[in-house]
Amino acid sequence: MLNANLSPDVVNGFLDGKPKLLLIDGKFVPAVSGRTFDSINPATGKVLAQVAEGGVEDIDLAVAAARRAFDDGPWSRFTPFERQAVLLRLADLVEANFDEIAMLDTLDLGAPITNTRARKQRAVALLRYYAGQATTIHGQTLPNSSAGEVLSYTVKEPIGVVGAIIPWNGPFGMAVWKLAPALAAGCTLVLKPAEPAPLSPLRLGELCLEAGIPPGVVNVVNGPGSVVGAALAAHPGVDKISFTGSTATGQAIVRAAAGNVKKVTLELGGKSPNIVFDDADLDAAVPGAAMAVFANSGQICSAGTRLFVQRGIYDEFVERVSVFTRKLRVGSPLDPNTQLGPLVSEVQLERVTGYLESGKAQGARAAVGGGRLLSDDLAGGYFVEPTLFADVTDQMKIAQEEIFGPVISALPFDTAEEAVARGNATTYGLGSGVWTNNLANAHRVAKGLRAGSVWVNCYQLMDPAVPFGGYKMSGTGRESGPDHIEDFLETKAVWIKTG
Ligand code: ADP
**Nearest atom of ligand 1 to the alpha carbon of 348:** 3
Residue range(s) defining the domain that contains residue 152: 4-268+476-493
Any idea of the CA torsion for 245, 467, 158, 226, to the nearest 10 degrees?
Answer: 0
Which residue's CA is the nearest one to ligand 1's atom 17?
225
pLDDT tens over the chain, length 499 residues: 445 567 899 999 999 999 999 999 999 999 999 999 999 999 999 999 999 999 999 999 999 999 999 999 999 999 999 999 999 999 999 999 999 999 999 999 999 999 999 999 999 999 999 999 999 999 999 999 999 899 999 999 999 999 999 999 999 999 999 999 999 999 999 999 999 999 999 999 999 999 999 999 999 999 999 999 999 999 999 999 999 999 999 999 999 999 999 999 999 999 999 999 999 999 999 999 999 999 999 999 999 999 999 999 999 999 999 999 999 999 999 999 999 999 999 999 999 999 999 999 999 999 999 999 988 888 889 999 999 999 999 999 999 999 999 999 999 999 999 999 999 999 999 999 999 999 999 999 999 999 999 999 999 999 999 999 999 999 999 999 999 999 999 999 999 999 8
**Nearest atom of ligand 1 to the alpha carbon of 166:** 14
Whole-prediction pTM: 0.97
Residue 468 placed within a domain:
no
What CA–CA distance (Å, rounded) separates 451 from 265?
Answer: 17
Residue 229 placed within a domain:
yes
Backbone dihedral angles phi then psi of residue 342, each to the nearest 5 degrees: -80, 175
Catalytic positions are: 267, 301
Whether residue 288 is found in the same domain as residue 236: no
Whether residue 330 is found in the same domain as residue 238: no
Which run of H or of E encompasses 243? strand 240-244
Whether residue 446 is found in the same domain as residue 343: yes
Whether residue 255 is found in the same domain as residue 153: yes
CA 230 to centroid of ligand 1, rounded, Å: 9
CATH number for position 326: 3.40.309.10
Which residue's CA is the nearest one to ligand 1's atom 18?
225
Q: Each residue of 183-216: b (16+ CB within 10 Å) or e?
A: bbbbbbbbbbbbbbbbbbbbbbbbbbbebebbbb
CA 245 to centroid of ligand 1, rounded, Å: 6
Query: Given ligand 1 and candidates 165, 241, 301, which is best to mutate, with the most ligand atoms within 8 Å of its CB?
Result: 165
State how many domains the chain has: 2
Whether residue 440 is found in the same domain as residue 333: yes
